[in-house]
Amino acid sequence: MRDIKVDELLGKLTLEEKISLLAGGSAWVTKPIPEKGIPCVKTTDGPNGARGSRIKDGESAACFPAACSVAATFDIDIAHRIGVALGEEARTKGARSLLAPTVCIHRHPLGGRNFESFSEDPFLSGQMGIANVIGLQSTGVSATVKHFAANEQETQRLNVNAVVAERPLREIYLKPFEMIVKNANPWAIMTSYNKINGHHADSNLFLLQQVLRGEWKWDGLIMSDWGGINSTAASLNAGVDLEMPGPARWRKKPAVLAAMQDGELTEATINERARHILLFLKQLRCFDEPTYSDPGEEAINKPEHAALIREAGSKGIVLLKNQDECLPLTKGKLRGKKVAAFGYAKQCLAHGGGSASVKPHYRISPWDALQEALRGWDVELSYARGAHTFRQLPLLVDNVYDLTGNPGFTYNVCEIGNPTPKETIHGYDKSEMSLLDGHTLENVEVNLMAIFRPRETAAYYFTLSSLGVAQLSIDDKIVLQQNENCNDAMGFLFGGVPVPLVKVHMEKGKQYSIHIHASPLTSTKVQDLGFLEGQVGVRLGHMSSVEYEADVLSEAVDLAKESDYSIIFVGNDPSWETEGQDQASFHLPKEGSQDKLVAAVAAVCPRTVVVNSTGVATALPWINQVQGLIHTWFPGQEAGNSIVDVLTGAQNPEGHLPCTFPKRLEGCPAYGNFPGTYNSTDGFQVNYEEGVFVGYRHFDRLSPEKVNFPFGFGLSYTSFEISNLNIEKPLDNLYTLTAKVTNVGKVKGGIAVQAYVGRHAQLPDDLVKVLVGFKKVTLDAGQSSAVEIPIATRDFAIWDEKLQKWLVESGDYVFSVAKSCMDILATSTIAVERSIYEP
């Protein structure tokens, strides 16, 4: 490693050169200064795979389980191994900075990006994040821990003001970041889009200067989320070193120099921000090795990564119900039987939508995996879809011809108000264009034109959505139009927004002219458009009425009647659960279709098992009608194999819920305060009125009947006993919990032993208990093992807003060992002395 003296190098740069370092050079790459020997570094998304620079059509990548799935393993080793693999994957894409992990909190079940974060519990999130970051950075690739901070929703995410008191801010939302900063030393942190108590994250002096740089004494790189800078001087003064993406939007040299001339910025601040950039490049060995070339991206399908994905995916699956030991579906149970699969069986729900999505090397669907696993078992396997789940109609890509007669669309770009094209492309391959397709169309008008030749005579449904004003004409007649800005621009980009349908009768043998016209997104008093200002995006969907109106439910019921076992695969595909928008409903989409499918099949097939693939808790109105239920999250590219391994018993389920599954949305702690409201004084605002009572901290104070399944819950195909609880205090402010774990069942299995602490005599503001430790144990049948869990007093301290310090009051505390937060197996009451900790 070259001995790069950063301060000497900084001293050789002109002021203008230092300013140029403070924003990216392009979408994913920092700005180099070759003549001064300063290289660039490439970044890439994201938390469950290194995608590379192309969002939709780049090189394939390994798709790992989503963070919620990793957290459900309660296995630190798996989180670490995935971190190492992600670092190796990032290098195949020429990147040294991975935009991960995401450690925000599951505040509410409708959070659109919950799947991308670990848990509702800050301690579990922090521990998984520590392991992930250490593993990732061991490969020389930087973690970029995000999104700092209080970023628990997608609705109005560019400008929503999260109003949160300091105690919950410290104890819940900042704690995972603090744990990772102090125990893993991440090399970069990304600010969030939102405001926190009135100040955007990128200019929040309390978060960035007082807490992150000051109290936590962290000296890494702070970068913005993409388009997440909202000022020139304020963000620099607050401490954001790098504006992304490039080229600069706010940090153009004239703007920065003008701010300095006006006294809003000093050269010392510019020097400090540039110093962090150079230190980051040094940390990543960018001065020693070539770090970026275009394309510089490879699709390398590593067998060891595939094996890890399959293992981690299966170990994160949670068995929620197993009535009469319906599962596992062994060879002996299924011999000579008819097994029907429904719903998403033929789709691989590997990941959620948005920046956490990747183009996997391959996808294994449950149907593929079932066919392989049951080969030679004398089983008749069949399939019916059973439910319409599409959120958007498919793109129009077939039977369309551009204005030259070749397949595709003619696409042209015009100046606003001028119909004469300044650019024309023929053969454009689909009826959609947006930023995610690599189109950076700004302040122009766009046309997509084609001739459509229907395959059959039928009615056809069309939908149109757009960032700005748009219209669809068929044979020069306007049939759909959007007369205002999209009401959810981020939702448009990342999966779809509610759009009207139009039904048009078309005949085979005829041809129909299609013309889509789209204008840019424009400012309004209500919307802060950020980096989307002036952008153009449009999408046309279509489907024949034959498919759209098909009675798929009746077909499924008929099949279920003839089957011995029914396995229904339900969940959220990436258009339903995605960055950019919060969940449309607590119930599975679409419009109750999946719930109706489960209820109808269960009514005619007594051996019905449901496999639910979502990154969030969902309503389970049919829970008492089915024999089995497993929750799979988003397990990655090996999803089908991971799921079928658990269904057949090749892998004993050992996952535990990282979030509570409430019975009703109205019972959730943030209900009524999510996603917020708009008023003319404060703009869009969300109040965190539940305080520290998030997730199980809230439900602990209520009747157990309020939840379907509690935090930490998970069944197994075997049984475990935990005994001989003992608490010792080997050091001041550190306790050690020991217990004996025995597998008293008949097969090998794993369990996460959980430790909780709470005050014996509680005051109204006290939490009943908090998770303070856990340990994953895997045992053969009949095997026992001693478990040791260290418990730091600091981990059950509260933030005292008067003292401005962490406090553990003296008194009796209940130390518990548990299988879940509501399945406490043994307790010990310990007298704890008063302790105060600096922040």
* Catalytic positions: 225
Alpha carbon distance 764, 741 (integer Å): 35
Exposure pattern of 359-373 as b/e (b: 16+ CB <10 Å)? Answer: bbbebbbbbbbbeeb
Which amino acid is present at 601? V
CA atoms within 13 A on the CB side of 481: 11
What Å distances lie between residue 764 and 759, 800, 814, CA to CA?
Answer: 11, 15, 17
Q: Is the peptide bond before 439 cis (omega within 30 degrees of 0)?
A: no
Cβ 9 vs Cβ 2: under 8 Å: no
User: Could you give the angle at which helices 552-561 and 593-604 cross, rounded to 10 degrees?
Assistant: 20
DSSP classification of residue 388: -
Q: Which helix (H) or strand (E) holds 111?
A: none
Residues sharing a CB contact under 8 Å with residue 43, sequence separation 6 or more, in sequence order: 28, 29, 30, 95, 97, 98, 99, 144, 244
297: buried, middle or exposed (CB in 10 Å: 19+, 13-18, 0-12)?
A: buried
Alpha carbon distance 711, 105 (integer Å): 14
Return the residue matching tokens 């509702």.
Answer: 120
What Å distances lie between residue 522 and 194, 442, 465, 483, 613, CA to CA?
Answer: 20, 11, 15, 12, 37
Find the distance separating the first CA and the last CA of the chain, reported in whole Å.
35
Q: Which helix (H) or strand (E) holds 447?
A: strand 444-452
Q: Which helix (H) or strand (E) holds 19?
A: helix 15-20
Which amino acid is present at 76? I
HEC string of 618-674?
CCCCCCCCCCEEEECCCCCCCHHHHHHHHHHCCCCCCCCCCCCEECCHHHCCCCCCC
CA atoms within 13 A on the CB side of 100: 39
Which amino acid is present at 804? Q
Residues sharing a CB contact under 8 Å with residue 34, sequence separation 6 or more, in sequence order: none
Q: 667: closest CA among 707, 619, 620?
A: 707
Return the residue matching tokens 């093992």.
Answer: 785
Residues sharing a CB contact under 8 Å with residue 554, sequence separation 6 or more, in sequence order: none
Handedness of CA 372, 377, 380, 383 (dihedral sign): negative
DSSP classification of residue 700: T
